[in-house]
Structure 1
Amino acid sequence: MRHRAIHALFALAVLMAGTAGAVGASGKASTADHSKFEELAGPFDSGPAVTRACLKCHTEASHQIMQTRHWTWDYANPATGQRLGKKTMVNAFCIGDQSNEPFCQSCHIGYGWKDKHFDFSDASRVDCLACHNTGEYTKPFGFAGNPVTVRSEYPPGSGKFVEPIDLAKIAQAVGPTRRDNCGACHYYGGGGDGVKHGDLDSSLNTATHALDVHMDKDGLNFRCSTCHVSDQHAVAGSRIAMTAADPHPALLRGEKSERNPAACQACHGDKPHKEGLLAAERLNAHTDTLACQTCHIPAFARGGVSTKMAWDWSQAGQLSAEGKPFQKKDDHGHVIYDSKKGAFVHGQNVTPAYQWFDGRVTYTLLNDTIDPTTRVPINVFHGEPGAPNARIWPVKVFHGRQPYDTERKTLLVPNVAVPGDTSFWYNFDWSRALAAGAEATGAPFSGKYDFVDTQMLWPITHMVAPKEKAVACHECHADGGRLAGIEGVYLPGRDRSPWLDRLGWLAALAALLGVSLHAIARILTHLRKED
């Protein structure tokens, strides 16, 4: 009873926190009205000018930010020994940001990262508005993470103009982080809405209960920070080093712990099912084998926004009869070919793939030798079947085709997005684009290249469906079910063992006999009482 009471109180506290957070977003619960601060009156001619004003009150904010991965894009994984981070890693989508910084770094929480000489120690370069604006703030591609304060033509000579924004107005309306703050980057990774993750896209800004029970705009209305709790601006939860299993009860609100507060078990515990004693016990027995997400996220990309399932860079560079780049779209309006990027495959309401996962992830890095005769894994999710620290997880399996050095057998990062003679989007010359990318990364390039098939895995952990829409028993416990290829677990309905089948039938018959005898005994007892 005591544990049930604690869990109930914890759930109530989370609900209250979600409500309070919603009020805070409108500013009604805040103790400060930023529109009255003289320091924020402006006008501001740059992002750093705003930050310098913020730091007059929030004196430690930049220092805290500069210790985080959101700032450094750099991480030494103690579990694998790999040096990771967005600024040096390779992916199967846009491939890499090196040589493309002015374009890609619009999603960095800083100002002015245009090349490898960016000053990570300059406190004024921290972008407070990226996470705390409440609307109208933009950092367009191509401006190295800087907001536009003067009407600017981009790309140069294109006749297309980016209009300026009023930084003072935006700074005077700051507030707690919201889903659309985080989503401005995390929804749009890979160059478009929903491209990378599959379980993160703009539909979550106005999520219904059917799409996500936690972010339901008319229900709990969680912010990202409700689960991804921050401590001195360091945000919990990362796909680079994940918590795959957490066999512990729920954390008390405010409890200091080494556990990951973004894990499901932090709120729900590892035995979350309560309704119906027998059913709850049977369902709770699954938590030693399955991740919560495996049952509770039956499909991803469910909000009406498609996700990319494949990207073939080798098709890029085709031009029209007039020598111009072009796009093709499918019947749903999705771009399936772009001269700048190649060919795509989209998916909606996608059933995840499943695999054993213990939280360890290793990556193929720029200096790693690859085998081009096989599909190259950009990342590998590790986990031994049946291991106590592993669970069966849902994943998005993404297929790419991207350039590699045919002599050195290493992956290559192309210069694609920055206007100039070496940029693929402006010259459609792979040799020059790859040479420029190699120079930026510091990796040798033989000058010879081809394209190799790749694969990248993405954990599925958002878009939690209502419990009534959870994966049904028969979807796994059947021949050809969701877990058809999963080893290390005996799955009734899928697997066959004559002795186990006999024991199962005997147990079922014994249960039936017991129930029948009990019913007969009750009837006889009732008849005797009537006599």
Structure 2
Amino acid sequence: MKKLTLIVALFCTTHWLFANNGTNRDSIRSFPMNEYVYKSGNTNNPSADHSKFAILQQPFASAHDATAACLSCHTERDKEIMATSHWHWRRSEKLEGKGVVSLGKANIINNFCIGITGSEATCTRCHIGYGWTDSSFDFTDPLNIDCLVCHDKTGTYKKKPGGAGYPAESVNLNFVSQHVGSPGRENCGVCHFLGGGGNNVKHGDLDIAMLDCSREVDVHMTTEGENMSCVDCHITEKHQIPGKVYALSSENKNRTTCEQCHTDKPHQSTILNEHGLRVACQTCHIPEYAKANGTKMIWDWSTAGRLDEHGNPMHENDADGNHNYLSIKGNFVYNDHVIPEYFWFNGIANHQLITDKITTIPVQMNTLYGSYNDKGTHQKSHAPAKIWPVKVHRGKQIYDTVNMTLIQPKLWDKESGKGAYWTDFDWNKAAELGMAACGLPYSGVYGFVETEMYWPLNHQVSPASESLKCIDCHSRPNSRLASLNDFYLPGRDFNPIVETAGVSFILVSIIGIAFHAFCRIVFGGKCKIDNP
């Protein structure tokens, strides 16, 4: 009986130690987050006063002249830039079942503004170059590089809408070129915050509010604390910027991770560190996204084209001021303080290319690979799959009902009558011109198909006090992980064998302890040994 009591006591003690974050050798070595403070050492101040350089004081006839002046001192930088995906808007990616594909913003299809082909002059407003109007753009000419969009420190540099990346006429190129420095969040954000046609439209976790936000919005970017810049995490070397957006990427490499600063054992609790083996940091530390401004969750292109009684395009907003209908784009649904959806993800993705046949509906614009069994000898990536928080954007967009492929329509032109949908509202003509620009066939028959696109979340990290608690996942029936049903999760799942065995063990333990106590009380006196 004593042995049984010892076994029960040992079991309970061990369970208590793990449940109450007991300390062992690993936790002693773990990273003490409550003692960790990071302060950005990047002041964004240049090492030289560019206003004193004579070459930057001469009049610039064009933006290309400003680039030539930059490269006269910063020699070889053009070669670095022209070797990046930021320049080419594509890179070689290995896709499962498709081999190595040249893939990127230049040619991929999404379920927001669909793609750039045929509308380059407006889309390349976010390109780090000048003059990309069509497929004839010269990627080998260093004078086409726009140095100022990333290095401007005046806040006055702006690209011209529909100007193929050229600066607006109001920009004083001399003034800007004399006041440059390391890229700040304003430089990155002008494209990455505003992608998709407005603030926080695409990512859901990248928002102009992060230029000056509270800790509740983002503990890293907050001006109340760390005040970090994008390049503090996306540490750049020779203009190669690490980081992946899986709307465009497919391989588990060149990623920016939490572990760069926080290590793989960031908690004093061993059991929390063990969670990190299969749960991404972001899952617990980004409990919601779109905290300051709404993000687009649904985009229905099929309703586009409705005009008012005077034949003019319409523009309707929701109660928060977000577009909920535009004649040129259709209906939208925005939401804020959104709870993510959760998926197993191993860092590898696939993509629906414009040449791929549609085989499933909704069409998966990008597929995030991973499962509970993606570990150990079954591992598909260099790291096991982890549970990851994801924004899912759902759309309805044009496709070829005969060829069963997605369509790239021509959306923009600076003049009406050129077949662009945003000016002429003719889907058939826009589809014909867009697919011709892609060099692909169009049957002449179109429809609209439901699509889904997946955006893993990485930004808008909450304070530790607002991170997920155990009950958020380990509960029934409101577990955040209810959709991940390929593994047994304690507290969420019911397994008759496990539940019966567990309850039985507890009951047997209680009965054993009670019986032992009864014996000690009833027979205790008779067990005494008289000492001589």
Q: TM-score range by the shorter chain?
A: 0.7 to 0.9
Cα 1:79–1:270 change in 2 (3 A) is farther
Q: How many Å separate the matches in 1 of 2:443 and 2:168?
A: 39
Task: Decide which of 458, 461, 464 is 2:461's aligned counterpart.
Answer: 464
2:218 counterpart letter in structure 1: D
Per-residue CA deviation, residues 472-509 of structure 1 (Å, 9 max, x unaligned), is: 21111112311001033321111112443355554799
Report if the CA contact (8 A) 2:122-2:164 is conserved. yes
Determine what percentage of the aligned residue pairs are the same residue: 41
Q: Within 5 A, what are the aligned runs for 1:340-355? A: 340-355=328-343
**Cα RMSD (Å):** 2.5
Distance apart, 1:6 and its partner CA? 10
Q: How many Å separate the matches in 2 of 1:429 and 1:224?
A: 41
1:139 counterpart letter in structure 2: K
Report if the CA contact (8 A) 2:325-2:331 is conserved. yes
Given the alignment of the two structures, is residue 91 of structure 1 paired with residue 110 of structure 2, yes or no? yes
Report if the CA contact (8 A) 1:133-1:170 is conserved. yes
Cα 1:243–1:327 change in 2 (3 A) is same
Q: Within 5 A, what are the aligned runs for 1:31-430? A: 31-78=47-94, 80=96, 81=99, 82-134=101-153, 135-149=155-169, 164-240=170-246, 241=249, 260=254, 262-274=256-268, 280-303=269-292, 305-371=293-359, 374-388=361-375, 389-420=384-415, 421-430=418-427
Per-residue CA deviation, residues 113-132 of structure 1 (Å, 9 max, x unaligned), is: 00000000001111111111
Q: How many Å separate the matches in 2 of 1:469 and 1:386?
A: 30
Per-residue CA deviation, residues 308-353 of structure 1 (Å, 9 max, x unaligned), is: 0011111111000111111111111111000011100001000000
Report if the CA contact (8 A) 2:95-2:250 is conserved. no
Distance apart, 1:83 and its partner CA? 2.8
Larger deviation, residues 97-106 vs 467-476: 467-476
Unaligned runs of 5+ in 2: 1-24, 376-383, 517-532
Q: How many Å separate the matches in 2 of 1:201 and 1:434?
A: 32
Per-residue CA deviation, residues 420-472 of structure 1 (Å, 9 max, x unaligned), is: 32111111111111111111111111111111111111111100000100012
Q: How many Å separate the matches in 2 of 1:300 and 1:76?
A: 31
Give the aligned partner of residue 476 of structure 1: 473
Q: How many Å separate the matches in 2 of 1:387 and 1:508?
A: 37
Q: Within 5 A, what are the aligned runs for 1:412-451? A: 412-420=407-415, 421-451=418-448
Larger deviation, residues 382-391 vs 169-178: 382-391
Give the aligned partner of residue 161 of structure 1: none
Cα 1:2–1:301 change in 2 (3 A) is closer
Report if the CA contact (8 A) 1:243-1:263 is conserved. no
Cα 1:289–1:3 change in 2 (3 A) is closer
2:330 counterpart letter in structure 1: G
- Aligned residue pairs total 471
TM-score computed with the length of structure 2 as normaliser: 0.84
Distance apart, 1:57 and its partner CA? 1.1
Unaligned runs of 5+ in 1: 150-163, 245-258, 275-279, 518-531
Cα 1:116–1:508 change in 2 (3 A) is farther
Q: How many Å separate the matches in 2 of 1:243 and 1:367?
A: 20
3-state SS in 2 of match to 1:234: coil
Cα 1:103–1:509 change in 2 (3 A) is farther
Distance apart, 1:419 and its partner CA? 2.2
Report if the CA contact (8 A) 2:27-2:270 is conserved. no
Report if the CA contact (8 A) 1:385-1:487 is conserved. no
Report if the CA contact (8 A) 2:86-2:127 is conserved. yes
TM-score computed with the length of structure 1 as normaliser: 0.84
Larger Rg: 2
Aligned structure 1 segments of 4 or more residues deviating by more than 2 angstroms: 1-9, 78-83, 240-244, 497-511
Cα 1:2–1:355 change in 2 (3 A) is closer
Q: How many Å separate the matches in 2 of 1:2 and 1:401?
A: 50
